[in-house]
Amino acid sequence: MRSRGSSPTHSNSPPASLFVPNRFKGKLIVVEGIDGSGKSTQMSLLSHWLRSQMIAVAFSEWNSSPLVHETMQRGKKKKMFTPTTFSLLHATDFADRMERYILPLLKAGAVVCADRYAYTAFARDVARGVDRRWVRNLYSFALRPNLSFYFRVPSEVALGRILGGRNAIKYYEAGMDLGLSHDVEESFRIFQGRILDEYEAMTQEMGFNVIDATLSIEAQQQQMRDIVQKKLGKNLQAVALRTLERGTPSVEETAAVL
């Protein structure tokens, strides 16, 4: 496993051959991390901050497409999924959101903030035993993000946050389908530890901007904003100018949450 320091890591972009280049006016920002890392909170804060800068912002969340929602819920409830079927359904969800929401918004010049991206599949599916090359090929149609944040947190800290926020750990979240342990908390530790290892192995390859998710919420958010301003500042200024010229940011109004 790679060393886990506390300072942000500013790396190169993901391999050019892995994803399709984003040649649109809009920008794609994604967050990644194990369950309980706090990435969703940070992305929400970043989205609100960008909107306060008069930037048209849209939000897209993992596993949120209505196309597969009912099937996904039924399969989880009945515990029907194998690692491969779970992987394929998530890829279908991702493809639907990419074509129906993310691409049109980027073409319109919006900043799309994605809570989890293809990297989630690269980590989770492989942790479930699915072939790494097969999974990556499955998402080869995806656009290359302009910025990718990875929130690094020990699994014990993540477990504490989850248990502090709700009554129980979810079946698939804990990897109970893999038979790792009869104890749900122990299964969570093992499974999320595997996912954590996959993220760590991808950090340099994918060019993640690493945030120490054990820092205060305020400190993490400031790091995110500093990185966004440094790497996308001029582009975001152009987006803001286009928004002002249009008047009301219609992209924001019609696609604030996807």
**pLDDT tens-digit readout, 94-108:** 999 999 999 999 999
Q: Any idea which of 23-32, 154-163, 206-215 has the lowest mean pLDDT?
A: 154-163
Q: Any idea which of 1-5, 51-55, 215-219, 228-232 has the lowest mean pLDDT?
A: 1-5
| pLDDT above 70 as % of the chain | 86
Residue-range definition of the domain harbouring residue 207: 27-254
pLDDT number for residue 235: 74
58: CATH:
3.40.50.300
What are the φ/ψ torsions at residue 141 (nearest 5 degrees)?
A: -80, -10
Q: Is residue 83 part of a domain?
A: yes
Label residue 223 by pLDDT band (50, 70, 90): very high
Count the domains in the chain.
1
Q: Is residue 113 part of a domain?
A: yes
pLDDT number for residue 165: 79
pLDDT number for residue 164: 87
Q: Is residue 14 part of a domain?
A: no
Do 148 and 209 touch, CB atoms closer than 8 A?
Answer: yes
Check residue 100 and report its DSSP letter: I
Q: Is residue 176 part of a domain?
A: yes
Q: Which amino acid is at 111?
A: V
Q: Is residue 3 part of a domain?
A: no
Number of helices (H) and strands (E) in the chain: give both, helices first: 10, 5
pLDDT at 137 over 90: yes
Label residue 240 by pLDDT band (50, 70, 90): low
Q: Is residue 85 part of a domain?
A: yes
Give the angle 172-174-175 at the CA atoms, nearest 5°: 60
Residues 6+ apart with CB under 8 A from 18: 136, 140, 144
